Amino acid sequence: MPSVTNLTCEHRINPIGLDIPVPRFSWQIQSGMSVLQGAYRLQVFCEDSAEPLWDTGRVNRPASVLVPYEGPALRPRTRYRWRVRVWDKRGRDSEFSEEAFFETGLMGIDHRAHWISTPHKGDISRMQPAPRLRKSFTLKNKPIRRARVYATALGIYALRLNGRPVSPDVLCPGWTTYKKRLQYQTWDVTSLLCPGENVVAATLADGWYRGYLALKDQRNVFGERLALLAGVVVTYEDGSEQIIRTDATWKCLSDTPVRYADFYMGTHYDARMETPGWDAPGFNDSAWESAQIVRHVKAPLVSQLDQPVRRQYSLTPVEIITTPKGETVLDMGQNMVGWLRFTVRGPAGTTVTVRHAEVLDRDGNFYMENYRLAESKLVYTLRGGEETYEPELTFYGFRYVRLENWPCEVNPKDFAGVVISSDLETTAGFECSDERVNQLFHNIQWGQRGNFVDVPTDCPQRDERLGWTGDCQAFARTACINMDCALMLSEWLKDLALDQREDGAVPFVVPHVLKEQNYGSAAWGDAATIVPWTIYACYGDKRVLEAQYPSMRRWVDYIGSQSEGYLWNQGFHFGDWLGLDAHEGSYVGATDKTLIATAFYAYSTRLTRRAAEVLGYEKDALELRSLYRKIVKAYRQEFITSTGRLAVDTQTAYALTLHFDLAEEKDRPRMVRDLVNLIEKNGGHLTTGFVGTPYLCLALTECGAHDAAGRLFLRADYPSWLYPVMRGATTMWEHWDGIKPDGSFWSSDMNSYNHYAYGAIGEWMMRALAGIDMAKPGYRELLLHPRPIEGLSFVSAWQNTPYGRVRCGWRIEDGEETVACTVPGGSTAVLVLENAALPQVTESERLLSGEIPGIVRAWQSESDTMIELESGRYSFKWRV
């Protein structure tokens, strides 16, 4: 019998604060072999009502992902319960699932709260103490049904109620294009309230809003004054409400123990200035000033829909190092993002400093020149005795920490590396016979974890940490395989569209914090089309295409305005950034920029046309189909000779031409041979940069040169994916030779050791090596096509899809190949067994000529065996 599990609303489990008039529901089917949903019944209840607000009745459809609500209008600040039951294709029905819930947010209602701040703006040219605000209030003497906090800030804020954090979230309200879209948070604080006096309190800090941001000592990008906007809404059992709003009755303190808190510079905390109990009842705040109402704040409020930033792991130092220079350094064993929590003992007034670094130099000394202007330090002044501290108003990227002026014995038990990231579920795993490759996959996921801190950034440590569009589009498919990124990337795309110029040009970074001219590069601006299509493909979320389609179309139209004869030959382009075939002294690879730009023009046009088809925009689809053909024709005339030779003889040029399907079918075999020859001429190594690398192995495998892709992938000398692993990397590097073979470094002006872009190879590892892929967007129809390579004896992988967990892997042993796979309930799959003769293939020792549960049919396609599968677990074996 089928059963229903993993109920989510808008990609979240039991979300609160939804400002969505038509939320969508998803569920998965847990069962045995050959289970496909044939029908469902979904019920939604309002608050504690026993009668459904909306009951679909039996709906004879297989839909189980993002099923839209179609009931009466939802009310603000209201909890709704829901449940679902299903029937499989044989008519067997499940019980109703356990109830899940969602809760609406403010949905535009005004609680008449005011923006408040300290009376004194201070010297905005330098870092200032983090102000504190508090409000004491008394509850009515009657039973409470629930209590919610709705809050946001200009700057970042940490909110507390009666001395305790209101949630585990940090760095709220996150980073958006604040003047166009400012997120507020909703938290359930019912359990934090107490009879009588209660206190709500907040600490504000610069964050992305006012601190150092972007490049060249830039501050106050979004504004000059920190402020808080909040409301505590207490709902009693009798239905009455009590609302505590931010207003001039709040108290504030400007001169606080947090002397400054900045993302680039770090933080200084003076524990001697602590005022115990400031955030709890019973504290005397008569010496505090009254808060000042801040007028004319123009920041449209939206509920935060994606996952917040939270603490994820706690790492203990693996080694205490005394460097040749005599420095005391802790090795956390992992390049991580977050901060150090420590316990220290010493006399009052002692000031200790913690500095952060990613690597040690070749002599084993502490090295942080690659942080550039970012001081990245933690300064702490002791109040005296034993005390424990961790910052939460900044973050650092580091593996090593240097302790300066430490007043007591250095004990590893006194330190913990607190890892933070957007709270994204890990949705993929990979294991194979080569531990170097396993470490590479680890590095890819940790690179993503460290750079997905509310927005997808290039790096998390130096004076940059920006949402570079080129990095994101290159890594988007790998990101969505590794983690549940549907919401985070969808929210980031909203800011991309808001920051897009009227003429359609897309900024280099989102949110846009660079100068006005930093718009429009090929492969960077194409994030406007590639990322939304990737989200749709991976999650089946059509609403993302609906929201982003105007942005997609405007980007394609912008490219057209920059083109002549359908060749994109105008404007600034980064080119194949950091390509190894660059000319001496240049960061730009040798591939012709017009070729790159026109290839992406074609690709973006193709994706936008596909989006138009999905959305039913027939006129647009026809226009874009015609435009695409003209671009491809122009590309072939300009860059492909009559004999099928590519005029630009670089690895990146071949990778783009083949993967974007820009060559005629008759010319592809020669191009593949030429690409393989280029790699071999380079000693079996790649020369690609940010543009070509994501597609290099994909292009080879797609064109029948999987063996060449495997050889390239397993290279361990410079330059290669495994070279950083051999040098001890625990995340992905910005440069192939961030640490050179002789132990020296790339130039410190641009040398990050946590830069996820080259981790895009993870897509090939999962899709080609392990063989987990989609036949159609959304993974309801799977394509399982594992492809062994010489040098590995087994690969095993899993990936969570909207329908459940897929497993696929292969093993070659004693002359036999085994392929094991799992298809989740609600999905079907076509499995490709390469170089397998159908009569020789068995499933759990049964020949495929017989009837086997779950196998719909099997057939021979040239040298491969093809098998159509329904849900279940399978193990196939044959002689190789």
The total number of residues shown for the chain amounts to 880
Cα–Cα distances (Å) from 871 to 389, 582, 767, 780, in that order, read 51, 49, 19, 11
In contact, 748 and 462? CB cutoff 8 Å: no
Q: Please tell me the distance from the alpha carbon of residue 43 to that of residue 58, in angstroms, as a whole number.
A: 10
In contact, 207 and 163? CB cutoff 8 Å: no
Q: Which residues contact 510 (CB under 8 A, 6 or more apart)?
A: 177, 455, 467, 469, 492, 495, 496, 499, 527
In contact, 701 and 709? CB cutoff 8 Å: yes
Strands (E), 176-274: 182-188, 197-205, 227-236, 241-245, 251-253, 258-262, 266-270
Q: Read off φ and ψ for residue 602, nearest 5 degrees.
A: -65, -45
| 297: its two tokens | 């704040």
In contact, 419 and 338? CB cutoff 8 Å: yes
> What residues act catalytically?
464, 734
User: Is residue 539 within a helix (H) or strand (E), and if so which, with residue range?
Assistant: helix 527-539
Token match 């504004």: residue? 223
User: Is residue 541 within a helix (H) or strand (E), and if so which, with residue range?
Assistant: none
CB atoms within 10 A of CB 60: 8
Q: Please tell me the distance from the alpha carbon of residue 251 to that of residue 753, in angstroms, as a whole number.
A: 44
DSSP 211: S
CB atoms within 10 A of CB 743: 11
Closest CA to 726 of 709, 741, 746, 705: 741
In contact, 80 and 102? CB cutoff 8 Å: yes
In contact, 537 and 774? CB cutoff 8 Å: yes
Q: 197-205 and 319-322: which strand pairing?
A: unpaired
Can you give 580-592 as a three-state secondary structure string? CCCCCCCCECCCC
User: Is residue 147 within a helix (H) or strand (E), and if so which, with residue range?
Assistant: strand 144-154
Buried b / exposed e along 216-240 (16+ C-beta atoms within 10 A): eeebebbbebbbbbbbbbbbbeeee
Closest CA to 872 of 93, 91, 35, 92: 35
In contact, 601 and 563? CB cutoff 8 Å: yes
Closest CA to 171 of 276, 284, 263, 241: 263
| 418: its two tokens | 């607190």
Closest CA to 478 of 542, 437, 431, 430: 430
CB atoms within 10 A of CB 639: 21
| 809: its two tokens | 């892997």
Can you give 545-608 as a three-state secondary structure string? HHHHHHHHHHHHHHHHHCEECCEECCCCCCCCECCCCCCCCCCECCCCHHHHHHHHHHHHHHHH
Given phi > 0 = left and psi -120 to 50 = alpha, else beta, which region is 728?
left
CB atoms within 10 A of CB 546: 14
